[in-house]
Structure 1
């Protein structure tokens, strides 16, 4: 019986931390607030995570590991089933992120958390994300470079950086295009993905001067 209890305690802490970090930021959220919302004591946080820094990292790992696996699996499928095609590679990068944003179990909070990560310049978190997930961008860069021989590596990575920013904006659903009442969330996400893929493909293929 001990294992399920530990699992649920850890999940409660992660869920509470995700929501509070999204609302108040990393610096603005205390471990006392997390323990209060999760209905656990500080010893439970220390046992499962050891420190606030590790807790922040694990909040990201919980979501990023799933998205990373989905991206790399879809990239492998795109390269195998659609060789020489740009848009399936872009779909492999974009679709898992938009699916995560629509996840009813905290997806919206995690999107706000990503915005916090950009805004707060948390160097420890940036280092963690780079160390653990930087290889994903490199895999996509490698796949795209073979289809874009006219782009040097630096230009390609500039454009991928812009794509990542546009994707984060699309994940937030904060722009001019709101989901019509007649459209399901899945249909709206699918449309957003299609439009972003076309936009990204055009940007990546733009001539350099």
Structure 2
């Protein structure tokens, strides 16, 4: 087997196992056994389990950021950019980038795990390698939601991401439910069309009245 094929086999296997079992629960030995390669091959091509996890993410995020940055170049020059237009570009870019051998739902599951499991190195890696793209996006988002306080915008961005990650990572199950209960066949483009107005409305919702701080309650 050629070297490139070995790398692809390791990445495909690691991606599937990480999504199924989690990062901490998946050992290199499990990956090598499933991929039918020896441990030396993983160490040679990646050096460590942390580097392998990062490489799994890079397969999707590198082409995504390349394409999304081109879109951001255009949007930053567009006068009167609306929130709906910005989120539409984000959604269409997300679903248009091939997710390697796995599906977009598998990658979204991995993205959720990177933030919910104790993977500090992964959050640092995402910030170091893709933080500039995220900053460009959030800067445009801030322009489109200028009435929101910064802290409120922070929470809403993560509420929005949580909704997207959950929905996309549960895509197969949601499709099955829609087909069984509503006799509906759901394509990704249909899902995006339904999800966009929901997250747009959530970002545009009135700011709720803030409860008094604990120190004020005690006083």
TM-score normalised by the chain length of structure 1? 0.83
- Report the equivalent of 2:198: 199
Q: Deviations over 1:131-170 (max 9, x none)?
A: 2222233211111222222123222222111111111012
What displacement does 1:56 show? 0.9
What displacement does 1:95 show? 2.6
State the alpha-carbon separation in 1 of the partners of residues 112 and 95 from structure 2.
Answer: 15
Aligned pairs for 1:128-139 (under 5 A) are 128-139=125-136
Q: Deviations over 1:41-81 (max 9, x none)?
A: 11211111011111111111111112222333333344556
Q: Secondary structure at the match of 2:88?
A: helix
Any gaps of 5 or more consecutive residues in structure 1? none
Task: Summarize the Cα distance change of 1:138–1:177 in structure 2 as closer, same or farther, 3 Å threshold.
Answer: farther
- Report the equivalent of 1:105: 101
State the alpha-carbon separation in 2 of the partners of residues 138 and 22 from structure 1.
Answer: 27
Q: Deviations over 1:189-208 (max 9, x none)?
A: 22221222212222222222
Any gaps of 5 or more consecutive residues in structure 2? 210-219
Task: Summarize the Cα distance change of 1:143–1:57 in structure 2 as closer, same or farther, 3 Å threshold.
Answer: same
RMSD of the alignment, in Å?
2.6
- Report the equivalent of 1:57: 54
2:11 and 2:52 in contact (8 A); partners too: yes
State the alpha-carbon separation in 1 of the partners of residues 132 and 174 from structure 2.
Answer: 29
Task: Establish whether residue 153 from structure 1 lines up as the match of residue 150 from structure 2.
Answer: yes
Aligned pairs for 1:53-132 (under 5 A) are 53-80=50-77, 83-99=80-96, 103=99, 105-107=101-103, 108-132=105-129
What displacement does 1:113 show? 2.1
State the alpha-carbon separation in 2 of the partners of residues 163 and 86 from structure 1.
Answer: 13
Larger Rg: 2
- Report the equivalent of 2:217: none
- Report the equivalent of 1:12: 9
Task: Summarize the Cα distance change of 1:93–1:166 in structure 2 as closer, same or farther, 3 Å threshold.
Answer: same
- Report the equivalent of 2:216: none
State the alpha-carbon separation in 2 of the partners of residues 121 and 15 from structure 1.
Answer: 22
What displacement does 1:182 show? 5.8
TM-score normalised by the chain length of structure 2? 0.79
